[in-house]
Amino acid sequence: MAATFTRTSFNPNKKPSDPERWICIYPAYIDSNKTRVAGRRVSKSRAVERPTCTEISDVLQAANFKVGIEPKFYSRESSKEEEMRGRVRVQLKNEDGSPVNPTFPTRDSLFLYIGEKIPHLKSRVFKSSGEGQAANQGGGGKKKGKGGRR
């Protein structure tokens, strides 16, 4: 279950396990439609097309991370659509500063993992197979137009 957070100013005395010190992940960080200037943080080949906060949260929860979703807009996001809203907070380090999951010691390794796993989610697999079937059914018709005027 995703946690909710209250906004507080940075306190260096807080431990890395406190929710205020968890890292933030916006969907734009791994969106293949974004440029580096627009906020993408991974290479285009490892990015995903239009990821959502819930997809990111699902992937991280499956990897046994503590996750929270906040209803925030990314500052570089020009679109204010409801589906583009949200950021995910993740506990990356324990109280002593060691990684929660030794496989992901840095935020960049976490971004790459998310970009790798989102295309394998059931919601993504179902969408892509449904789109392919719809495209195949619509073909085969004759183009209409103005005859053979040349």
H helices within 30-145, ranges in order? 53-62, 107-117, 122-137
Query: What's the pLDDT tens digit per position in 60-113?
Result: 999 988 898 888 878 777 766 666 678 889 988 888 888 888 898 998 999 999
Ordered by where they begin, the domains of the chain are 22-124 (3.30.56.30)
CA torsion, points 143, 146, 148, 150, in degrees to nearest 10? -130
Query: What's the pLDDT tens digit per position in 17-59?
Result: 667 778 889 888 898 988 898 888 999 999 999 888 888 999 9
Residue 68 phi/psi, 5-degree rounding, is -140, 145
HSE-up of residue 94 (Cα within 13 Å, Cβ side): 7
